[in-house]
Amino acid sequence: MESFDIRVRVLSCERCGAPLQAPEAGGSLGCSYCGTTMMVEARRLEPVRPNHVLEEDARIAKLRLQLDGDLAQNPYSTVAPPPGCGALTHAGLEDVQVQLARRFREAVALVRAEPTFEHQRLAWWCATQLNQGYGLTGKHLERRAVLERAIEELSDPGFRHMLYVNLAGAAARAGELAAARAWIERCDPRPEDLMLDSGYRVGLASVLVREGDVAMTLDLVGARVGDIPEARQFRLMFAMYRIHAFEKLGRDQDAMTAAMAISTDEEVGPVLVQALEANELAPRTTATLRASSSS
């Protein structure tokens, strides 16, 4: 079984967090790792389809108005951890993953008891951090299981949208393009929140570049910074897909110009080369940047 195959239901164990193949219709589910038996409801994978009324130009204008907002105040940003989670941001560390997994299971219990927005955000934030940490350590089934568990537990469409984005991106990076396409198609394609829109663009771009559609990728992220409203949290990913698209289109000078533009960013500029290499993007531009930095 591929790690992200949408035709197979995979959930994290409610007790130990292990990835488990679960029945579509629900019922009894036993964990072969810790011995727990749990009851699961029928699978919930409905797409996020809010009833948007804005035309596209008006939607983009609304997104631009959000550019000067405080990112930490947007609930769909991971920048501000929920109360009590400030020490759980280094998700690549195994001991932090253990703490995050425990906090996620506690958050799911809170959501079931009282599905407030705050409880849902806690569960979503923990799942998102675990996704990043498991991705760094190659635990693909674990990241799939915690993301799908969160999708089935949460009702807020914004959180569900971002979880689908995470699954699409993870599947694309694992080379499972059919699964990636299936997950991204469950997202809201026209969000009116900047974080949700930027997340969707990055998720879809991760699929498109691996499908070879670099022209559409460039349209999606914009040929220049500012062409498309982009949430600051995603600026490195926007830049990387822009650089890669230019290079694949044979526009190496434009690729280098885009690389130099993001290189001046004090926060993400220093990690550009490593990020391009890790994502296997824009190899010629990456080689040039690395050569120039070592000379």
**Domain boundary, last residue among 141, 171, 203:** 203
Say yes or no to pLDDT of 268 above 70.
yes
Q: What is the pLDDT of residues 130-169, one digit of tens each?
A: 999 999 999 999 999 999 999 999 999 999 999 999 999 9
Do 14 and 116 lie in one domain? The reply is yes
Do 147 and 1 lie in one domain? The reply is yes
Say yes or no to pLDDT of 59 above 70.
yes
End-to-end Cα separation, the chain, in angstroms: 46
pLDDT of residue 294: 74
pLDDT of residue 198: 98
Q: To the nearest whole percent, how much of the chain has pLDDT over 70?
A: 100
Do 131 and 23 lie in one domain? The reply is yes
Q: What is the pLDDT of residues 103-115, one digit of tens each?
A: 999 999 999 999 9
Do 197 and 225 lie in one domain? The reply is no
How much is the CA Rg of the chain, to the nearest whole Å? Answer: 19
Do 45 and 120 lie in one domain? The reply is yes
The arithmetic mean of pLDDT across residues 190-209, rounded, is 98
pLDDT of residue 145: 98
Do 239 and 175 lie in one domain? The reply is no
pLDDT of residue 285: 98
Do 128 and 159 lie in one domain? The reply is yes
Q: What is the pLDDT of residues 72-98, one digit of tens each?
A: 899 999 999 999 999 999 988 999 999
Do 142 and 8 lie in one domain? The reply is yes
Do 1 and 96 lie in one domain? The reply is yes
Say yes or no to pLDDT of 258 above 70.
yes
**Domain boundary, last residue among 164, 180, 203:** 203
Do 295 and 186 lie in one domain? The reply is no
Q: What is the pTM assigned to this prediction? A: 0.96
Confidence of residue 295 (pLDDT cuts 50, 70, 90): low
Domain that holds residue 244: 212-295
Do 134 and 53 lie in one domain? The reply is yes
Number of domains forming the structure of the chain: 2
**Domain boundary, last residue among 186, 203, 220:** 203
Q: Give the Cα separation of 197 and 63 in Å (integer).
A: 8
Do 39 and 169 lie in one domain? The reply is yes
Nearest by Cα to 19 from 1, 7, 31: 31
